[in-house]
A = this chain, B = another copy of it.
Amino acid sequence: MSFENTPYKDKKVISIGIVRELTGLSFRQIRYYEEKRLLFPERTEKGTRKYSFSDIEKLVEIANKREDGVQTHEIRTEMKKEKEKLGEKSVLKEMLRGQFHAYFKNNHDRTS
């Protein structure tokens, strides 16, 4: 019945007021972290910000680090590294998938 393969978690559909409620942060903080490029909400045609659930999770993480005294710039650097690691993981996954495919292909060829 579903017709779209949408990862709801990443769809940018939440306005800043709801984000404020969900994260407990102030409008000022939420916008400031965007200014410092820690997250990238989208905009409607008229310019109001739209966030995803992922953005909300990220904001909570940011808030935690800020409580530990970590500066926004450091947080940004950390997050970049995280992304790289995720990239590596994807590569590994792809390689493993290739291995499996090869394995099953061979197995099939031999046994049938």
Give A59 Cβ to nearest chain B Cβ, in Å. Answer: 13
Interface: A47 (CB within 8 A): no
Q: Which residues of B contact A57 (CB under 8 A)?
A: 2
Shortest C-beta distance, A33 to chain B (Å), equals: 18
Known: A8-B53, A9-B8. Is A17-B44 also a contact (CB below 8 A)? yes
Complex interface bits, A1-30 against B, C-beta within 8 A gives 1, otherwise 0: 110001011010111011000100000000
**How near does chain B come to A53, taking the closest CB pair, in angstroms?**
5
Residue from the list B8, B15, B22 in contact with A15, Cβ < 8 A? B15
Q: List 13 A-B contacts (CB under 8 A).
A: A1-B61, A6-B53, A8-B8, A8-B9, A8-B53, A13-B14, A13-B18, A14-B14, A15-B15, A15-B18, A17-B44, A18-B44, A18-B50
Shortest Cβ-Cβ A-B pairs, 8 listed: A8-B8, A8-B53, A13-B18, A13-B14, A8-B9, A15-B15, A14-B14, A18-B50
